[in-house]
Amino acid sequence: MAKSENLSNAPQTTEAGVPIIEVKHVSKQFDDGKFALNDVSLTVQKGEFVTILGPSGCGKTTLLRCIAGFQVATEGDILLNGEDVTDMPPHKRPVNTVFQKYALFPHLNVFDNVAFGLKLKKIDDKTIEKRVKQALKTVGMTDYEFRDVNSLSGGQQQRVAIARAIINQPEVLLLDEPLAALDLKMRKDMQMELRDMHKLLGITFIYVTHDQEEALTLSDRVVVMNEGRIQQIGTPTDIYNEPVNCFVADFIGESNILSGTMIRDRRVAFCDQEFDCVDTGFGENAPVDVVIRPEDIYIWKSERKHTDDVPDQSDYDPDDRVPKGNFTKWYGIVESCIFKGVHYEMLVKTDNDYEFMVQDYHEFAPGTHVGMLVKPEDIQILHKEHYLYNYFEGEVLKNGMVRFIDADWEVRPDQLEPFAAGDRVRVQVPFSEVDLQDYEDEGTLSGEVHFILYKGNHYHLTIRTDEGYDLFVHTEDVWDHGDRVGIRIAPESITLSKLDVENAQS
Amino acid sequence: MKWISVFNSRRTWAWPYLLFLVLFVVLPLLLIVVYAFTDPQGQPTLRNFVQFFHTQEAVNTFIYSLAIALITTMICLLLGYPAAYIMATAELKTPAVMAMLFILPMWINFLLRTLATVELFNMFSIPLGGGALLYGMCYDFLPFMIYPIYNTLQKMDTSLIEAAHDLGANRREVFTKVILPLSKPGIYSGIIMVFMPTVSTFAISELLTHNKITLFGSLIQRAFGEGGIMMWNYGAALSLIMLVIIAVTSFFGDKEESSSQTII
């Protein structure tokens, strides 16, 4: 049994490289068939502060609850210190949880709440008293022992909840959105205290949050989750500067995401212009997504257009802030400008109708003509996950229709010509030709707007049909997450080709 | 202008109710007290109480009634708590339906239910008496025990149970250290709601024992009903004694409940 002195004399350096928790291919399927976790694997090192970050419903809490033992994974294993704990009940696991709504026992006072775990272990009263005092001191709640927990503020209740968990000297402390119910100022203070506590105690922290700023501030490593899958694992800087896909780029911080083409190594085209960049290995003329953080864009007053060849004398850069050099520049008019405390956030429409979000310490009022540039190293290139066309596998029906994604669609007769009824075909539908209707019964199929990405001059939507298929749509119309839509595809937009095995997958 | 404000004032609207309370609650209570401490001639006296404590039969009836009420309450608690617990926690597909089925008998007048119980006993040729009385009382008042307990258990934050598990409590410890203490308010309301009517009932006992067993309620009823006006003072004294008993029990309940307001 570890002595209470460990609370204060914890090792300052963490034992790097010793895995304490291993989550191996864990899936959790609920009764309705939906996957809350889908083949999740994660290794947490001893002493680490790991944050699981994602939007609500992404499976982050389910993952935490599987580690705590409140939920049992449908598939896969969870190892704690190398021991399989997948089916071990929560009271036998050497982990403790801090709950989102504190979950303090209302019938017990602060002392008895904190002592709850120790009393179960039949430890003598003197030791209990000493350790409760120490735990309360750690969370800054000395002298609150005999207060009624209901009389405490949210922040104080959360401190007691933390004390109640750490007093058991767990090997891993699980925190389920512990600060979500606190106001902003209190949350910031508690974030710092949690960091200090983590250093002081030397315990492994696994922290669940939907607040990306909190995740970046607190953690050694961030695990970004979406739809039951891990999207990216990395240090806060990695996650922010090198997002692996559009979801991560969009979810972490603000970003401009545009469709582009990688012309060759270190040269990318987007927004009708070519730019130098630092990425290589995408091939030639490969479709890519380009991510530019709004704070990485330099902005200055300028009357030019991107089509002007000669240098313009009207460029205005009195502070000499804009880097000199042979950078590709682009130009536009400020549409809106909001003061954000430290910086201004501007929406700029370029002369060729792309929208950029730009952050700068200087104010550029709406209507100002501006020039913009970005340094090559600040352009982040991503592989395009989906490009221009939806592909489905379908079947030609007797009545001259084609059945795919669980619906029957009309197609042009010339498309049908090479095929006979019963043939399996590959169906191709351009993103831009999927027609969304306001009323779901106006479509051949109905579905829901599942994910929205603004690409500078159009929206890239993911529509999930009621049957569970995903359709990608390019549109200039504004939709909201969760909107119900009717889906129509005009017969002339559907192209059929022979189904070969390789293409069937894409 | 002034008239409208008087009309709109909520205080104005409280007056009829106040009048009602004075006429039908305060005044009768005062009458009971006055009658209990006077003789038929209207002279102040403690004779009524002395008479009660010196009549062995009356005291026995009083103790017997208390005992029956306590036993009924205990049986209802022992039967009702598990029922409420199962309904509130088990992953039943239709807990609401089950809860409603328990409550359903309350829709039927309890006299009718008691008469039906009598017929049931007759049908199976089981003699009426003490056993039938207990059975009838439990049957009549069990829902009043189940419902408040079910209510508290159902509203209990499941994260408290998870927290207890998380801190190392096994299932038994979770029950004794968290669930049971937190369901106390429901238990107290249940006890009061069963004990109060059973300690004062007389109709059930008369029907289910063919008047063989006299409960304290029957004693009061007889004092007023059969004793004539000469017995009213004695009856008032008995009523006052029962009122004190009920007041004491609800006082205990209230004290516990004030900390966490849970009443049906």
Q: Which residues contact B172 (CB under 8 A, 6 or more apart)?
A: none
pLDDT tens-digit profile, chain A (506 residues): 333 333 333 333 444 578 999 999 999 998 887 889 999 999 999 999 999 999 988 999 999 999 999 999 999 999 999 999 998 999 999 999 999 888 999 999 999 999 999 999 989 999 999 999 999 999 989 889 899 999 999 889 999 999 999 999 999 999 999 998 888 888 899 999 999 999 999 999 999 999 999 999 999 999 999 989 999 999 999 999 889 988 999 898 889 999 899 999 999 999 889 999 998 888 888 889 999 999 999 998 888 777 766 555 556 666 677 887 778 888 999 999 999 988 999 999 998 889 999 999 999 999 999 999 999 999 999 888 777 888 888 888 888 888 888 888 888 888 888 888 888 888 888 888 888 888 888 888 888 898 888 888 888 888 888 888 888 998 888 888 888 998 888 888 888 888 775 544 44
* Nearest Cα to Cα of residue A181 among A221, A146, A223, A153: A153
A479 touches B: beta carbon within 8 Å: no
Tens of pLDDT along A27-73? 999 888 788 999 999 999 999 999 999 998 899 999 999 999 999 99
CA gap A240, B253 in Å, rounded: 59
**How many Å lie between the alpha carbon of B168 and the closest alpha carbon of chain A?**
4
Tokens of A339: 């003061």
Can you give the residue ranges of every domain in chain A? 16-241, 256-383, 389-505
DSSP designation for A276: E
Q: List the single residue in A90, A107, A121 with the smallest CB-CB distance to B165.
A: A90
Q: Which residues contact B41 (CB under 8 A, 6 or more apart)?
A: none
What is the number of H-type helices and E-type strands within chain A? Answer: 10, 30
B160 touches A: beta carbon within 8 Å: yes
The β-bridge relationship of strands A256-264 and A204-209 is unpaired
**Within 13 A of B168's CA, how many CA atoms are on the CB side?**
18
CA gap B103, B85 in Å, rounded: 15
Q: Identify the bridge partners of residue A260 per DSSP, sorted by sequence position.
A: A270, A288
CA gap B186, B153 in Å, rounded: 8
B166/A96 touch (CB, cutoff 8 Å), yes or no:
yes
A68 touches B: beta carbon within 8 Å: yes
A103/B159 touch (CB, cutoff 8 Å), yes or no:
yes
* Nearest Cα to Cα of residue A176 among B182, B166, B171: B166
DSSP designation for A257: E
What CATH fold (topology level) applies to the domain A389-505?
A: OB fold (Dihydrolipoamide Acetyltransferase, E2P) (2.40.50)
CA gap B3, B7 in Å, rounded: 6
A168/B163 touch (CB, cutoff 8 Å), yes or no:
no
**How many Å lie between the alpha carbon of B106 and the closest alpha carbon of chain A?**
32
The β-bridge relationship of strands A329-339 and A369-374 is antiparallel
A181 touches B: beta carbon within 8 Å: no
The answer to whether B69 and B196 are in contact (CB under 8 A) is: no
The answer to whether A234 and A221 are in contact (CB under 8 A) is: yes
Residue of B nearest to A166 (CA): B167
The answer to whether A251 and A240 are in contact (CB under 8 A) is: no
CA gap A104, A102 in Å, rounded: 6
The yes or no reply on domain A256-383 and CATH 2.40.50.140 is: yes
Q: Which residues of A touch B164 (CB under 8 A)?
A: 105, 116
Q: Taking the CB of residue A491, how many other CB atoms lie within 10 A of it?
A: 13
The answer to whether A476 and A458 are in contact (CB under 8 A) is: yes
Residues A275-279: contacts with CB within 8 Å, 24+ apart? A275/A328, A275/A374, A275/A376, A275/A379, A276/A327, A276/A328, A276/A376, A277/A376, A277/A377, A277/A379, A277/A381, A278/A376, A278/A377, A278/A379, A279/A379, A279/A380, A279/A381
* Nearest Cα to Cα of residue B183 among B192, B193, B175: B175
A99/B159 touch (CB, cutoff 8 Å), yes or no:
yes
- Homologous superfamily (CATH) of A16-241 is P-loop containing nucleotide triphosphate hydrolases (3.40.50.300)
- Establish whether domains A16-241 and A256-383 are of one fold: no
A116/B157 touch (CB, cutoff 8 Å), yes or no:
no
**How many Å lie between the alpha carbon of A117 and the closest alpha carbon of chain B?**
5
Residue A372 dihedral angles phi and psi, to the nearest 5°: -140, 150
Which residue type is seen at B247? A
Tokens of B224: 């007023």
* Edge-to-edge order in the sheet of strand A445-454: A434-437, A484-489, A445-454, A459-465, A470-475
Q: What is the pTM of this model?
A: 0.78
Residue A472 dihedral angles phi and psi, to the nearest 5°: -100, 140
Q: Taking the CB of residue B213, how many other CB atoms lie within 10 A of it?
A: 19
* Nearest Cα to Cα of residue A375 among A325, A447, A410: A325
B165/A70 touch (CB, cutoff 8 Å), yes or no:
yes
User: What is B56-228+245-257's CATH number, 3.30.479.10, 3.50.50.60, 3.40.50.1580, 1.10.3720.10?
Assistant: 1.10.3720.10
Q: List the single residue in B159, B165, B168 with the smallest CB-CB distance to A121.
A: B168
A168/B167 touch (CB, cutoff 8 Å), yes or no:
yes
Burial of residue A131 (CB within 10 Å: 0-12, 13-18, 19+) is buried
